[in-house]
Amino acid sequence: MWNRAKLKRQGKAAFKANYWRAVLVGLVLSFCVGGVGAATGRKTYQNVQEESAEQVFEENVPELSAEGLPPEVLQMMENAGAPMRRGLLAALVAAGITVSMMGTLLRTLLLNPLEVGCRGFFVKNLREEASEKEILQGFGNWGRNVGSMLLVTVFLFLWSLLFFIPGVIKFYSYRMVPYILSEDPSCGAFEAITRSRQMMRGQKWRAFVLDFSFIGWWILAALTLGILGVFYVAPYQFSTNAALYDAIRGQRA
């Protein structure tokens, strides 16, 4: 049975031994798992839906003064106001949908294979000094990796519809999929998901506690405006997660 303190020591030692490469790959992996929303903007379809036409119009159209205007002009402006607001809202909704779709395509076609390669880097780095070129291995079996990670995303979305807790549980069930894909080129999508579920059986709570043990580090990272996260916490945690995969795989072997 793996030990949390031992995994963290192993992860820390591995990333420190190959520090700058681990920092670089950790930065890429951080973007893969959480950076799409920030990169593609704040306006999404859901955001736009929540705004009323009046709010959008007020925020985006300069205020006009009605002093000195004839009543006929004022009536014409009032009649034209509603169509203008509806048109502006429709344009913002369309822009939000476009941005959301572009973000989804970016994640599916580029970031998911990159994540597989990054996870493989940290696993290999536990045993030897891995090269940053390892992250490109995710594109060596691009179609399978894209399809597998997309399938995981779909499954997680469907489980999350059953409320928050089932989604979290399944997140931990599928946690090992990118590691499995990075190490076994012959493994298919459903097989990788099945193997991940088997590996995480009885391990999900302990893996959650391992993740939570980094909360203090992330608070410190926030106080440094993310600098500590980039240069220490993220590669440290990613390396520890790779050590978790390695330990559970050894137990199941």
pLDDT for position 72:
58
pLDDT for position 41:
37
Give the count of domains, the chain. 1
pLDDT higher than 80, residue 40: no
Higher pLDDT, 48 or 28: 28
**Among 106-110, 157-161, 182-186, 187-191, the least confident range:** 106-110
pLDDT higher than 80, residue 133: yes
3-state secondary structure the chain: CCCHHHHHHHHHHHHHHCHHHHHHHHHHHHHHHHCHHHHHCCCCHHHHHHCCHHHHHHHHCCCCCCCCCCHHHHHHHHHHHHHHHHHHHHHHHHHHHHHHHHHHHHHHHHHHHHHHHHHHHHHHHCCCCCCHHHHHHHHCCHHHHHHHHHHHHHHHHHHHCCCHHHHHHHHHHCCCHHHHHHHCCCCCHHHHHHHHHHHCCCCHHHHHHHHHCCHHHHHHHHHCCCHHHHHHHHHHHHHHHHHHHHHHHHHHC
Residues with Cβ within 8 Å of residue 16, at least 6 apart in sequence: 22
Averaged pLDDT score across all residues of the chain: 83
Neighbours of 10 (CB within 10 A): 20
Q: Cα(first)–Cα(last) distance of the chain, in Å?
A: 13
Spatial CA neighbour of 179 closest among 244, 236, 94:
244
pLDDT for position 215:
96
pLDDT for position 164:
82
Higher pLDDT, 169 or 38: 169
Instruction: Estimate to the nearest angstrom the gap between the alpha carbon of 173 and the chain centroid.
Output: 17
pLDDT for position 25:
96
**Cα within 13 Å of Cα(73), Cβ side:** 7
pLDDT higher than 50, residue 192: yes
Quote the Cα angle for 32-37-40, to 5°. 105
pLDDT for position 84:
63
Q: State which residues form the domain around 234.
A: 4-252
Q: What is the mean pLDDT of residues 89-102?
A: 76
**Cα within 13 Å of Cα(245), Cβ side:** 28
Q: How far apart are CA 186 and CA 192, in angstroms?
A: 10
Q: How many residues does the chain have?
A: 253
pLDDT for position 105:
83
- For 164-188, write each residue's pLDDT tens digit: 888 899 999 999 999 999 999 899 9
pLDDT higher than 90, residue 193: yes
What is the reported pTM? 0.76
- For 198-245, write each residue's pLDDT tens digit: 999 999 999 999 999 999 999 999 999 999 999 999 999 999 999 999
Residues with Cβ within 8 Å of residue 51, at least 6 apart in sequence: 89, 92
pLDDT for position 102:
79
pLDDT for position 42:
37
